[in-house]
């Protein structure tokens, strides 16, 4: 297994994942034998791969030579004995420990002593699977992501007895088929499935608290933070049968860790069969003509021309200037008062600073003055000040999201949850700090990795957001990671080990 050219790959399981792994390797000219327990399944999968490649060739996305290499590298095996000549065997069957261990017992009986065998499991511990192996030193995890031909990330997971040369060979194999490997500790959910819990579950909690609609939360995360998809669009795409199951598995695996907790409504969607795009209904409706955009609020008051600053902060001064409003520090008793709370809701902000609740308008400026501005007022406000500021924002050419009172607005709390969980993964040593960021960007298409978010917002400010949310909510899902706390207290790089 010194070079990709010498490798012969065996893949067990002709489902989407197994077929994707086979296609990715075949595209690089690696001979692949695909097998499946169901008679004919491997041949059917290969026919689909070749048909898809032929279509890309006809559309000019593959050359004739590339098509010939891919199509010619694939062959179907009648069963595991046909994998005898393979240098590497990848298992991609159902997530069932007994089934996987039974398959590997058969594989060990037919392959050469120096052949490597791996599992593509996304949840079962590599060390547990390896307990039944005769030679666990040649076994590890290679966790690909669907669709395999397009997704670059591969998590490489060692078991307790995995040999260093095995890891090196698997890392080289992943690079040889155009992937970006990241070495990850053998823990529940590995890295990406673990780190990916914060974004959707915090959004689900904000929805359950009636802070904003699913469409509004999605729009905020796209427009204010640069996410390609809002959290509910993402959950609807993967499906509740996938994402809630992963959430529940990880929450249980980490002994009810609050940071990994989802919501009753998320579970309700699964139980009622509202799985997302695949059923036409999830957090959003996918019926023909359905509108999933966030509505623009209508304000029936004149735009504000003068704003009182709750604190003398550059963000508040820049906000007033962008709206073309006069900014004052002294309260005139009638103009809207604008504040920039971190982790607080508007009421807590007003109480702490002694501000007039009925005129306070809280603005989330954590991520700068973006094309969408998120506002919230205090409970009991008459709405006139919020309306005047909202109208001024719209006059400036920006969109407005008016949310109910929330600790940490929407973007603050979601990004803080992502960053905090990433810091905790660094604390646990799940991967090298920069690899955590790289894996989350590549594996989940996040605009930044979790530690990059902490660095962008600033460790001290991120810590303050989390501390305020924990103190005001009493919920330990917001308890700051020791990794973050130490870096906020000291003058050191956020990625320092």
Give the residue numbers annotated as catalytic, written as ranges. 122, 143, 155, 193
User: 139, 117 in Cβ contact below 8 A?
Assistant: yes
C-alpha angle 436-183-236 in degrees, rounded to nearest 5: 55
Name which of 110, 109, 118, 111 is nearest 138 in CA terms: 118
- CB atoms < 10 A from the CB of 80, how many? 21
**Calpha distance 451→484 (Å, rounded):** 9
The rounded distance, in Å, linking the Cα atoms of 277 and 78 is 35
Smallest CA-to-CA distance from 401 within 426, 371, 421 is with 371
Give 389: exposed, middle or buried? Use CB within 10 Å, 0-12, 13-18, 19+.
Answer: buried
Q: What strand order describes the sheet that includes 153-158?
A: 74-76, 32-35, 9-12, 88-91, 116-119, 139-144, 153-158, 180-184
Distances, alpha carbon 148 to alpha carbons 89, 142, 437, 492, in Å: 16, 12, 20, 38
| Spatial contact of 151 and 142, defined as CB atoms under 8 Å apart | no
C-alpha distances out from residue 178 to 5, 149, 150, 166, Å: 14, 9, 10, 19
400 SS3 class:
strand
């Amino acid at each position: 297994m010194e070079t990709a050219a010498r490798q012969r790959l065996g893949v067990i399981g002709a489902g989407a994942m197994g077929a994707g792994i086979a296609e990715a390797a075949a595209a690089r000219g690696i001979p692949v034998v695909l097998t499946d327990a169901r008679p004919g399944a491997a041949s059917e999968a290969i026919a689909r791969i070749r048909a898809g490649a032929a279509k890309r060739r006809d559309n000019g996305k593959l050359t004739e030579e590339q098509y010939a290499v891919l199509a010619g590298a694939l062959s179907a095996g009648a069963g595991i004995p046909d994998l005898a000549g393979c240098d590497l065997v990848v298992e991609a069957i159902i997530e069932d420990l007994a089934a996987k261990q039974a398959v590997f017992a058969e594989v060990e009986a037919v392959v050469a002593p120096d052949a490597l065998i791996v599992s593509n499991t996304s949840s079962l511990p590599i060390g547990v699977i390896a307990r039944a192996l005769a030679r666990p030193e040649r076994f590890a995890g290679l966790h690909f992501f669907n669709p395999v031909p397009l997704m670059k990330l591969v998590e490489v997971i060692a078991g307790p007895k995995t040999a260093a040369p095995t890891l090196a060979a698997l890392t080289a194999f992943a690079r040889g088929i155009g992937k970006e490997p990241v070495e990850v500790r053998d823990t529940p959910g590995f890295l990406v499935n673990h780190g990916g819990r914060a974004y959707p579950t915090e959004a689900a909690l904000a929805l359950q608290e009636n802070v904003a609609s699913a469409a509004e939360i999605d729009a905020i995360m796209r427009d204010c933070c640069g996410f390609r998809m809002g959290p509910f669009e993402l959950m609807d795409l993967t499906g509740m049968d996938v994402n809630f199951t992963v959430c529940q598995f990880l929450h249980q695996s980490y002994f009810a860790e609050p940071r990994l907790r989802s919501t009753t409504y998320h579970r309700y969607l699964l139980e009622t069969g509202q799985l997302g795009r695949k059923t036409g209904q999830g957090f959003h409706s996918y019926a023909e003509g359905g509108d999933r955009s966030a509505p623009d609020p209508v304000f029936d008051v004149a735009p504000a021309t003068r704003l009182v600053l709750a604190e003398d902060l550059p963000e508040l001064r820049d906000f007033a200037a962008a709206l073309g409003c006069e900014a004052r520090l002294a309260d005139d008793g009638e103009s809207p008062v604008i504040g920039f709370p971190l982790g607080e809701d508007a009421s807590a902000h007003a109480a702490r600073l002694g501000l007039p609740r009925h005129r306070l308008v809280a603005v989330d400026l954590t991520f700068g003055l973006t094309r969408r501005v998120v506002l919230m007022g205090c409970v009991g406000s008459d709405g006139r000040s919020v309306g005047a500021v909202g109208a001024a924002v719209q006059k400036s050419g920006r969109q407005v999201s008016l949310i109910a009172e929330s600790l940490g607005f929407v973007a603050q709390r979601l990004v803080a949850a992502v960053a905090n969980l990433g810091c905790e993964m660094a604390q646990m040593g799940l991967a090298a700090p920069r690899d955590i960021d790289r894996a989350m960007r590549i594996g989940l298409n996040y605009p930044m990795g979790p530690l990059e978010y902490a660095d962008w917002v600033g460790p001290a400010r991120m810590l303050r957001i989390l501390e305020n949310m924990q103190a005001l909510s009493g919920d330990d899902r917001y308890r700051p990671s020791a990794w973050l706390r130490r870096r906020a207290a000291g003058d050191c790089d956020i990625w320092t080990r």
